[in-house]
Every structure is written in structure tokens, then in C-alpha cells.
Amino acid sequence: MLSCKEVTRLLSDAEERPLELRERVALRLHLLICHGCTNFRRQLIFLRRSARRYFGRDEGGTP
Amino acid sequence: MLVTSVSTARLPAAFAPMTDPASTAQPAAAALWDTEFLTELRRDMTRFAELQLRDRASAEDAVQEALADAMAGARQFAGRSAVKTWVLSILRHKIIDQIRSRTRTINISSLAGDTDDGADDFDALFTASGHWRAEDIPRAWADPEASLSQQQFWAVFDVCLHDLPDNTARVFMMREHLGFDTPEICQTLGISSNNCWVILHRARMQLRLCLEKRWFGADVGSRKEVR
């Protein structure tokens, strides 16, 4: 089983490289039972959206 | 497309806005002659460049070169925001040029210090066995979507970005804003893929923590009402 610490790293890496099958399976299993990491995953997704919006807004005007 | 520098011979003989009653499109130079627009644009550009380059002098150089290119450009634009978007894309290329030329002189060991695997500040959030500590376990954020339309949120986001350590910020910007993919970042900065991923992970951990502390935390309920 993956630790939460490993999961946070894996969730970040998932934005950079394709995860191997075993990594995806282990990740999914962990997320099923860990609400902390599930929240973390949602927050990373939100962070990515915010960053894109932030830089996008810099082009069109101040946020 | 990269805008190459044009010789001064191409600058308009009359340093005045050109008007063409037959169309609403004007050269970029026309918009840039508006002092108020230019002042605001320059300010935004400098802030933007500084965020990437972390050094005022380099940022001002990049802005100056970008504006010079823009002034000499003959492209037509139908509005100020189109001009701004275009000028910022020129600036982005100038920033990339600066990053590339500068990394030839960067002391690699200064980057290595930032990529120490295992010497992670965020270890403190986890127990020895790698589980979240009870006080640090991520809690659901209340209505994050709504934050995106709040001015105060963006001010906080700005602060959080500026709080990132320089080397971390640089990699994060290259990835998330300049749109470099990992191999490009690695090649430009001379670091390994894994180092790159460690830095990006740290950046995300820190940004997440910052947003939680300064915005989504329990004590910021009143701030959220500001629109």
C-alpha cells in the first residue's frame, strides 16, 4: 500500500508523466479509502485551474 | 511566433498615431502612444516579468526589448486588449531568451541544493510511516469555484506565488505559465527529470498549503464575502 506521502508525490507526477498501470491501481485503491488524499487530489486540480486562469488573466488584464 | 528585432529605419517617420477612417484596425504603435495605456501596460509587464525572472533589472530589460519590438511592429489590431495580448506574447519570448542565456552561467550546485531528495520541508506534515498528521490532513475546501471570481482570492494567489523560493518558482513558472514540458525544463536548466518533478511537487505542496492557510482556512470566512 502506498503511504499518503507517496500519494502526494504520485499525484503531482501524474501531471508530468504517464503513470504505470501498477501506480494507477495503487493510487486508486489508496484514494478509495483515504479522504485526506482525496481532498488533496481535488485541491491539486483546483490549483492547476487557478494557475492557468491566473496566467491567462495576466494576458487579458489584471485579475 | 518570435518577433525579431527590426532596425530603427522601420520606425514611423511621424511618431504619431496613424488613423485610417476606412478601418478600426490600427498598428500596435497607435495604442502604445496612449501614455496611460502604455504606463499601465508597462507596469503589468514588469510585474509579470519579475515573477518569472525574480530580478528587477532583467525584468526591465525584457520589458524594454518587448516594447521596442512592439513599437516597430506593423501588425494591425482592432483593440487595446488585442495589443496587450500580443505585446505580452513578445514579452514571453524575451523572458524565455533571458532564462536560456542566463542558465548558461547559473551555478548548477545552486539548483542542486533545491533538489535534495528527502530533505523535504513537507516531511513535517506526515508521520514516520507516511500518513497525514491529524492536524495537517487536507480538509475539503468550501466552494473553491466561487473563489475564482473574487478579487481578494487572486491577491492571495499572487502572494503565494511570490512566497515560493526562487528556484522552485522558476521551474513552476516554466511549466505552468511558459508551457515548457519537463524535458525542455530539464534541458534548459541542466537538471534531471526527477529533480524537476521533485521541485514541481514542492511548488504544489507549498502553494496548496499557502492557499489553505491564507484563504480556505477556518478563519477567513469574512474575507470571502468581498467581491
How far is A57 from chain B, CA to nearest CA, in Å? 10
CB contact under 8 A, A50 and B157: yes
Q: Do A37 and B132 touch (CB under 8 A)?
A: yes
Q: Cβ separation of A37 and B201 shorter than 8 Å?
A: no
Beta-bridged to residue B27, according to DSSP, are: B76
Q: Is B130 left (phi over 0), alpha (psi -120 to 50) or beta?
A: left
Give yes or no for A4 touching B (CB within 8 A): yes
Question: Taking 60 as the threshold, does the pLDDT of residue A8 lie above it?
Answer: yes
- d(C-alpha B78, C-alpha B80), whole Å: 7
Name the residue in chain A with its Cα closest to that of B138: A36
pTM of the model: 0.67
Q: Which helix (H) or strand (E) holds B26?
A: strand B26-27
Q: Does residue B82 register a pLDDT over 90?
A: no
B13 to chain A, minimum CA–CA distance in Å? 30
pLDDT tops 70 at residue B67: yes
State which amino acid sits at residue B223.
Answer: R
Q: Nearest residue on chain B to A51, judged by CA atoms?
A: B176
Give the dihedral of Cα atoms A42, B178, A5, A17; nearest 10 deg: 90
- Measure the CA–CA gap between A41 and B179, rounded to whole angstroms: 22
Cell of B3: 518577433
- The percentage of residues in chain B with a pLDDT greater than 70, rounded to a whole number, is 75
Sign of CA dihedral B145, B151, B155, B158: positive
Looking at residue B220, its pLDDT comes to 42
Helix (H, G, I), strand (E, B) or coil at B169: helix
* Interface subset of A 10-49, CB within 8 angstroms of B: 12-13, 15-17, 36-37, 39-40, 42-44, 46-49
* Distance between CA atoms of residues B125 and B123, nearest Å: 5
> Given an 8 Å threshold on Cβ–Cβ distance, is B81 in contact with A60?
yes
Tell me the mean pLDDT in the region B83-109. 75
Say which of B122, B139, B197 has its CB closest to residue A13. Answer: B197
Average pLDDT of chain B?
77
Share of chain A above pLDDT 90, in %: 79
Mean pLDDT of the region B118-138: 85
Q: How far apart are CA B114 and CA B149, in angstroms?
A: 34
Which residues of chain A lie closer than 8 angstroms to B144, CB-CB? Answer: 43, 46
Q: What is this model's ipTM?
A: 0.90
Contact B32, B42 (CB under 8 A): no
The answer, for A54 touching chain B at a CB cutoff of 8 Å, is: yes
